[in-house]
Amino acid sequence: MNLYEAIYLRHSVKKYKKQPIDPETLQKIGLFYEKAQPLVPGIETEIGIRENLTGRHVQRGLFSVSAPYYLLIYSESRDRADMNAGYIGEQLSLYMMTLGLASCFLAGTSLAGTPKTRGDKQLVIVMAFGYPEGKLTRRPEDAKRLPLSDLCVFKNEPTRWMNQVLEAARLAPSPFNRQPWRFVVVGSRIHIFSRKDGLDKLKNLDAFGFGIMFSHIAVASEELWLDVDLIRLENISQKNFKSSQYVLSAIVRSQES
């Protein structure tokens, strides 16, 4: 299994075996993080792993998942920091699947005895992980996601590879399964918008979710031998949209073109 295949099989797991992970596997996770590409270059991040086989780390926050291990992502407080953390965090989650490990993002959660800051970096997210008590994977058709017809506006007939990239984006998990993204597809460009629904309290969580979704676009593009640039187009960002807000555009090109 590679990262792209993991996109179709991954699901959030909330029950884990109290089974230790060998040090070599934990080291692989750290080495993968060191090589992972950020969404926004220049934002300093850091991760930490907490072993919890004895249950000594009590969670505080919105969600409670008892796991043998927790991964914490810290980041500088800068523009798009939450989005950048989601981009990195999902790469880690997908990589864990290739190692036979399940995971679950725990939004709004901290661990007792674990600092919420590391130097000038703030705790962004806690991820539970370990060997699952049940199934590691789920069937893609069992993912509770909106169909592409509800998420996309197509200005022209999309290519086969564009549909594959969009399908990977569609399968991205989001906080509370909100799926706040909408896509306008024009040729090789995917203009990505966030729905305006008045739930400003979830703004940071949605930003983290957008980072997850952008990582799916990047992973799918790499698998399909496509070049992708995630950029903000000023001619679109200056426009006012009634029910949505412009986020970024993905410029996807075939390497053969």
Instruction: State the amino acid at position 21 in one-letter form.
Output: I
Statement: residue 198 has pLDDT above 70: no
pLDDT in tens, 60-84: 666 678 899 999 999 999 999 999 9
Q: How many CA atoms lie within 13 A of 96 on its CB side?
A: 30
For the ranges 1-10, 129-138, 192-201, the lowest mean pLDDT is seen at 192-201
User: Among the CATH numbers 3.30.1490.70, 3.40.640.10, 2.30.30.40, 3.40.109.10, which is that of 3-130?
Assistant: 3.40.109.10
State mean pLDDT over 152-165.
94
State mean pLDDT over 198-214.
79
Tell me what pLDDT residue 181 has. Answer: 94
Examine domains 3-130 and 144-254 and report if their fold is the same.
yes
The rounded mean pLDDT for the chain is 91
SS3 at position 58: coil
Instruction: State the amino acid at position 17 in one-letter form.
Output: K
Tell me what pLDDT residue 202 has. Answer: 58
Residue closest to 7 by CA, chosen among 93, 81, 108, 110: 93
State mean pLDDT over 33-59.
89
E strands along 131-188, which residues?
152-154, 181-186
Instruction: Write down the H helix ranges in 187-252.
Output: 203-223, 234-237
State mean pLDDT over 180-198.
89
Reported confidence tier of residue 256, pLDDT bands at 50, 70, 90 = low
> pTM, whole model, 2 decimals?
0.93
Q: Which CATH architecture has domain 144-254?
A: 3-Layer(aba) Sandwich (3.40)
Domain ranges of the chain: 3-130, 144-254
Statement: residue 122 has pLDDT above 90: yes
Tell me what pLDDT residue 74 has. Answer: 97
CB count within 10 Å of CB 117 equals 10
